[in-house]
Amino acid sequence: MNLTRLVFLALFGVAAAACAPPAEPPSEDAKETASAAPEADDNPLLAPSTLPYGAPDFARLRDAHLLPAIEQGMRAAREEIGAITDNPEPPTFENTLEAWERSGQLLSRARRVFSQLNSADGNDTRRMIARETAPLLAAHDDAILLDPALFARVAALYEARDTLALSAEQARLLDRRHTQMLRAGAGLPEAEQARLREINQELATLRNRFQDNFRDDGAAFVHVLRDRAALSGLSADLVARAAAEAREREYEEAWAFTLAEPVVFGVLREADDRELRETLYRAYKNRGNNANEFDNNRLAGRIAALRAERAALLDHPSHAHFIAEDNMAGHPDAVMEMLERLWTPALANAAHEAARLQQQIDAEGGGFELAPWDWWYYAERVRAAEYAFDEEQLRPYLELGRVRDGAFDLATQLWGVSFRRRDDIPGYHPEVQVFEMLDGDERGMGLVYMDFMARPSKRFGAWMSAFQVQSTLLDTAPLVTNTSNFGPATEGEPVLLSFSQARTLFHEFGHAIHGLLSEVRHPSLSGTAVARDFVELPAQLLENWVPEPEMLARFALHHETGEPMPTELVDALRAARRFNEGFAATEYLASSLVDMAWHLRGPAAPPIEDAIAFEDEVMRERGLIPQILPRHRSTHFSHIFPGGYSAGYYSYIWAQVLDADAFEAFREQGLFDREVGERLRQTILSVGGSRDPMEAYLEFRGAPPSIEPLLERRGLQQVDQGI
Ligand SMILES: [Zn+2]
């Protein structure tokens, strides 16, 4: 695999953080509330907060503060940029790039707080603000990046870069800003820039609508059961949740099933009733594809076409070329080479697994052919039969608080940092817990806001974001968030996680650590502001510890007895670790291939009206087996249409090559080896985007990453025999 050509995608300004949620659009009816601005001096977003670390003052923040702060932030940022371009002095690093770094702090504060509120605790007002501000913010960003006077100053500095005696980080910032402006179209004639501005604004609006559509389409679905027999196999938790859902919707003597992820996947794993599985599976996979007002088929085509047009204006054959150029991959050929190398063995493994599941169906006298909605259910049965292992056995050992403390403990082992609760600092929701991270010398380093539980106002999935990034220039500490959809919790009962949820917690905590351990000068190079196909490395790396017996012994204690997980259970978990990997890899790679197919289309390609038909055709050509669908179907593929992973969904597996290889360093010297941990901190975790990622990686590992540990981990070694 070509990992040698490396270019950085630093996410300047207030770009999405790792796993960041796409902006969600609003509904119509809340306009009044949002535009009724209170007195300006009441608005806690308008001035830096006086709370510890400059933490947002959520106790004082009202929804009515959000829009005025964003609007005022845009005005202030424009004035600050104006002061740079009006400066009669010749451009210097300080009066141009450093001044740019200092600009926009009000907007950054408002935008970051708003983005997390809207994603983690959305309401009609917030959605309305998202819809209203998306095109304005796109225009605002373009106005800066396409400002000819600003570009002239940056370009002059870039030309003279060898004579400026810049530090390594300053040189990196200059290079990144120059590249960023060129990629935004700063070098183009005015007419083409005008078209770029239009495209960006239309895209901002369409991306919001796309997200809105599939969310609303999914939310409109409910499946009501009155026959108790159909509940057979479901866990008590799931049944209780369905009963509560029915009561809330005022159905008597009934159970109601929504498309919330824990519900859908709980049913797919547990429900003996095949019809129930099929109903939920089809509804889940068809979000945004129901030929109603929420249909995303055409929107997907339009978004892809606009991106192709923009890429052409910027002199790239396709959007995938445009994206890859600024990532580690460098070129879509490198992406496709890796995906194709993995696809064949993954598919072969999946076909093998499908045959095994069919055997199970036949052995039980099922008398039907394995369908996509049967996969999870029969995978559990085969796992139980072959490994005497049921994932549910793990749950009592994975109490949420203990898993969280396990993640903290890992950070203590590797980097000497510690965590303490800060109940004096307000969260944005009663369920949010705020923790302070202290370095080995007890110096406070920053805060992490942990928001674990599922609720209707929260977007699906899990992500990390930041209210503020670390910068010595601005003297700011990192304020990061970890958001997920665990639960539901039964009142008074401990929250017990599944194994994959425990991994998710460690994953997002890895992103949080990347933000918290940052030690750079310039905010736009801070923490997770790194290449998209590099940013998953710290997060995925931390997942590696979760199934390790030494790690489980530290945190996986029974929630009632405090007993460690029994050795037989740990052994069974490890023996079964490659089980169903063919399915997981195939499902993921299928979505990656669909993403690339969408974004490798050039500007002259005919418009796509039926996104699902396009996807089906791509998958037919790739030989996907009928028992599996891509993990995300195109009409609700939030990573690539509304989100920031277009032509970049491959990043997860790309970074897996790195994380599997990086974890070998710990295997070699000890899982909790402080020296390796310290080296990782110095070379990768603290440098953010201030260094070239491959250079940083080479310094950590002493050699380029090898793909072998990943192939071994996922059981894909047979790739070289060309199966
Ligand atoms: Zn991630």
Task: Give the distance (Å) from ligand 1 centre to CA of residue 481.
Answer: 13
Q: What is the pLDDT of residue 68?
A: 97
User: What number is the average pLDDT over the span 346-356?
Assistant: 96
Tokens 């300004």, located at residue: 13
Q: What is the pLDDT of residue 391?
A: 81
- Asked whether 18 and 528 are in contact (CB, 8 A), the reply is yes
Task: Give the distance (Å) from ligand 1 centre to CA of residue 645.
Answer: 11
Residue 213 CA to its chain's centroid (Å) = 20
Each residue's pLDDT tens digit, 177-186? 999 999 999 9
Task: Give the distance (Å) from ligand 1 centre to CA of residue 485.
Answer: 14
Residue 204 CA to its chain's centroid (Å) = 19
**Would the pLDDT of 515 be above 50?**
yes
- Asked whether 472 and 485 are in contact (CB, 8 A), the reply is no
Task: Give the distance (Å) from ligand 1 centre to CA of residue 507.
Answer: 6
Active-site residue identified among 132, 399, 508, 543: 508
User: What number is the average pLDDT over the span 646-659?
Assistant: 94
Residues in a beta bridge with 419 = 437
User: What number is the average pLDDT over the span 686-693?
Assistant: 96
**Would the pLDDT of 386 be above 60?**
yes
Q: What is the pLDDT of residue 718?
A: 59
Task: Give the distance (Å) from ligand 1 centre to CA of residue 462.
Answer: 8
**Would the pLDDT of 18 be above 90?**
no
Ranges 107-111, 194-198, 424-428, 492-496: which has the least confidence: 492-496
**Would the pLDDT of 40 be above 70?**
no
Orientation of helix 651-669 relative to helix 532-543, angle to 10°? 40
Ranges 6-20, 49-63, 337-351, 457-471: which has the least confidence: 6-20
**Would the pLDDT of 8 be above 60?**
no
Which pTM does this prediction carry?
0.89
CA distance 89 to 302: 45
Confidence class for position 262, pLDDT limits 50, 70, 90: confident
Task: Give the distance (Å) from ligand 1 centre to CA of residue 501.
Answer: 13
Both tokens of 120, joined, read 């983690």
> Can you spell out the DSSP letters for 536-605?
HHHHHHHHTTTT-HHHHHHH-B-TTT-PBPPHHHHHHHHHTTTTTHHHHHHHHHHHHHHHHHHHT--TTS
Each residue's pLDDT tens digit, 126-148? 999 999 999 999 999 999 999 99
Task: Give the distance (Å) from ligand 1 centre to CA of residue 45.
Answer: 28
Task: Supply the DSSP symbol for 91.
Answer: P
Task: Give the distance (Å) from ligand 1 centre to CA of residue 255.
Answer: 34
**Would the pLDDT of 607 be above 70?**
yes
Each residue's pLDDT tens digit, 279-301? 999 999 999 999 999 999 999 99
Task: Give the distance (Å) from ligand 1 centre to CA of residue 646.
Answer: 15
- Asked whether 510 and 539 are in contact (CB, 8 A), the reply is yes
Both tokens of 88, joined, read 């009669």
Q: What is the pLDDT of residue 459?
A: 85
Q: What is the mean pLDDT of the chain?
A: 91
User: What number is the average pLDDT over the span 92-102?
Assistant: 98
Residues 6 or more apart from 360 whose CB is under 8 A from it?
378, 381, 382, 385
Task: Give the distance (Å) from ligand 1 centre to CA of residue 578.
Answer: 21
508 labelled catalytic: yes
Each residue's pLDDT tens digit, 554-588? 999 999 999 999 999 999 998 888 899 999 999 99
Q: What is the pLDDT of residue 41?
A: 65
Task: Give the distance (Å) from ligand 1 centre to CA of residue 248.
Answer: 34
Q: What is the pLDDT of residue 682?
A: 98
User: What number is the average pLDDT over the span 496-508?
Assistant: 95
Both tokens of 233, joined, read 């196999």
With residue 35 as reference, give the H or E element that holds it. helix 31-35
Distances (CA, A) of 418 to 10, 229, 333: 29, 50, 43
With residue 448 as reference, give the H or E element that holds it. strand 444-453
The closest of 246, 249, 206, 201 to 227, measured between CA atoms, is: 246
Task: Give the distance (Å) from ligand 1 centre to CA of residue 508.
Answer: 6
**Would the pLDDT of 6 be above 50?**
no
CA distance 51 to 643: 32
Q: Which domains does the chain have, with CATH numbers?
A: 28-202 (1.10.1370.40), 221-285 (no CATH)
User: What number is the average pLDDT over the span 506-534?
Assistant: 97
**Would the pLDDT of 498 be above 60?**
yes
Task: Give the distance (Å) from ligand 1 centre to CA of residue 464.
Answer: 8
Confidence class for position 20, pLDDT limits 50, 70, 90: very low
Q: Which amino acid is at 642?
A: P
Each residue's pLDDT tens digit, 105-117? 999 999 999 999 9
User: What number is the average pLDDT over the span 363-392?
Assistant: 93
Residues 6 or more apart from 267 whose CB is under 8 A from it?
234, 238, 257, 276, 277, 280
